[in-house]
Structure 1
């Protein structure tokens, strides 16, 4: 329920509504408008590559070596984002904050980025789409990207003063997600309404479960 509702203080209760799709509680780190359906990938790691494996020390002996390593990282990052574009990926959904160089090349190659998503948001997207996170630094970075979800739309959404992302995914199951936008004068009222609705939904689930049995 936490990932399927958004609270908006400062608006009358009558402004509450239900929107198709998901409302993600983050703004775009990079927004590149795209028409029609678009392919999206989930990532749980930084896309800016590192020079060594975790726990391995990398020693730079000179300024020249340092500059060369930075150029390698930049070229590798650009190649990865270009690979996303060549696989028609238009949306990158990340649970981690991405480096500025990733955002730069995402804008350059027309890939929208939403970062710092909550674990429950990532889990819900995986459940809806049946897609697991994409691991870019495996055996072959340039393999075909098959871990893609299909979104029918992805656009900015302003809820009060908070900028969010409104996205509609093609579901692989019977569940068709909708997001409840709860409006109220203050946060406390919205929290009370959200708690009451969650209790009501829980009770309905239990009732239908008993009927099915």
Structure 2
């Protein structure tokens, strides 16, 4: 329920509404408008590769060598964005913060980016779409990207003073996600309404389980 509702203080209760899709409480790090359906990938690691593997010491003998290494990893990040573009991937959803060079190349190649998503948000998106996180530097870095979700829309949404990402996913199961926007004069009112609604949904869920049995 926490990932399927958003609270907005300072607005009348009558402004509450239900929106199709998911409202992610993060602004776009990069937003490139795209019409129609688009493909999306989930990542749980930095897209810009590290200079060395974890636990491996990198020995650099000169500033020139260090700068050359930085250029190499930047080219890898650019190559990945080109690959996403060639696979018609228009949206990158990340659980970690991506570096500025990644955001730069994403904008350059028409890929929108939402970063710093919670593990709960990532898990919900995976459950809805049936897609697992994509390994950008796996064994098959030149093949087709198959682990992609389909989004019917992807756009910014302003809730009060907070900018969010509003995304509609094509569901791989019977569940069709919608997000409840709760409005109220103060946060405490929204919290009361959210608790009451969650309790009601839990009761209905238990009731349907009893009927099914």
Same fold by TM-score greater than 0.5: yes
Tell me the residue number matched to 1:35: 35
Q: Note the residue ranges of structure 2 that are not aligned, 5 or more in a row.
A: none
Q: Secondary structure at the match of 1:117?
A: coil
Task: Map 1:1-213; keep pairs closer than 5 Å.
Answer: 1-213=1-213
Q: Secondary structure at the match of 2:64?
A: helix
Q: Matched residue pairs, number?
A: 213
Runs of 4+ with >6 A deviation: none
* 8 Å contact from structure 2 (residues 40, 150) kept in 1: yes
* 8 Å contact from structure 2 (residues 184, 190) kept in 1: yes
Tell me how far 1:70 sits from its aligned partner: 0.8
Q: Note the residue ranges of structure 1 that are not aligned, 5 or more in a row.
A: none
TM-score, L = length of structure 2:
0.99
Q: Secondary structure at the match of 2:110?
A: coil
Deviations 1:151-173 (A, max 9, x none): 00000000000000110000011
Deviations 1:163-192 (A, max 9, x none): 001100000111001000000011111111
* 8 Å contact from structure 2 (residues 8, 181) kept in 1: yes
Q: State the alpha-carbon separation in 1 of the partners of residues 73 and 90 from structure 2.
A: 22
Tell me how far 1:140 sits from its aligned partner: 2.4
RMSD: 0.6
TM-score, L = length of structure 1:
0.99
Q: State the alpha-carbon separation in 1 of the partners of residues 74 and 172 from structure 2.
A: 36
